[in-house]
Chain A
Amino acid sequence: MKILVVSDATQFALTDVYNGYIHALEQLQIPYESHPYHHFRGICSDATCFHRIHSIALTKQKEFTHIMFIGGLNVPDYIYDSLYHLKSIVIATEDPHSFDPLRERLDKIDYYFSNERSVGNSDKFKNTYYCPTAGDTQECGRIPRDFLDEKYKSDILFLGAMYPNRQKLLESIIPLVKEKNLSFKICGHVQYIPKKSPLWEYVFDARTIPHIETVKYYNGARIALNMLRDITWNPRSKTGKNPYNKGKFPAESLNPRAYEVPLCQSFMLLEDTRAEAREVFTDKEVGFFSDEESLNERLRYFLFGKGLQEMDKMIVRAYTKVSSKHTYLQRMLYIKKILEQNQS
Chain B
Amino acid sequence: MLQKGELLKRDSNITGFVVIYEDGTKIVEKENYFSKKLDKKCATNWAEIDKSKIAYLQLYWRGKLMETIQKSPSDTHSNELEAKDWFFSHKGYMDMASRSVKIISRNIGYTENNIIHITSVMEETGEILRSTRVVPLKG
Contact = CB atoms under 8 A, between A and B. Distances in A.
B127 A145 contact: yes
Contacts, number: 41
Interface residues of B, number: 18
A145 B124 CA distance: 12
B131 A142 contact: yes
Contacts of A324: 112-113, 115, 117, 132
B134 A144 contact: no
A329 interface: yes
A329 B134 contact: yes
Contacts of A146: 124-125
B131 A137 contact: yes
B95 interface: no
B125 A29 contact: no
A231 interface: no
Nearest to B120: A142
Given A265-B130, A324-B112, A329-B134, A317 B75 contact: yes
A198 B113 CA distance: 49
A29 B137 contact: yes
Contacts of B129: 141-142, 144, 265
A316 interface: yes
A27 interface: yes
Given A137-B131, A142-B131, A320 B125 contact: no
Main secondary structure of the interface of A (DSSP, over half): helix
B100 interface: no
Contacts of A141: 129, 131
A218 interface: no
Interface residues of A, number: 18
A323 interface: yes
A319 interface: yes
B122 interface: yes
Contacts of B122: 144
Interface string B91-124: 0000000000000000000001101010000101
B40 to A, nearest CB: 33
A87 B112 CA distance: 32
Contact of B132 (A144, A145, A323): A323
Nearest to A322: B132
A141 B125 CA distance: 18
Interface string A144-160: 11100000000000000
A144 B130 contact: no
A323 B127 contact: no
Interface string A320-344: 1001100101000000000000000
A141 B133 CA distance: 12
Contacts of B112: 324
B125 A323 contact: no
A29 B127 CA distance: 33
Contacts of A323: 115, 117, 130, 132
A137 B75 contact: no
B130 A142 contact: yes
Nearest to B67: A316
Contacts of B134: 27, 329
B3 interface: no
Given A27-B134, A137-B132, A145 B115 contact: no
A275 B97 CA distance: 59
Interface in B66-89: 75-76
Contacts of A145: 125, 127
Nearest to B137: A29
B130 A316 contact: yes
5 contacts: A27-B134, A137-B132, A319-B130, A320-B117, A329-B115
The 7 lowest CB-CB distance pairs between A and B, nearest first, are A27-B134, A142-B129, A323-B132, A137-B132, A320-B76, A29-B137, A319-B130
Interface of B: 75-76, 112-113, 115, 117, 122, 124-125, 127-134, 137
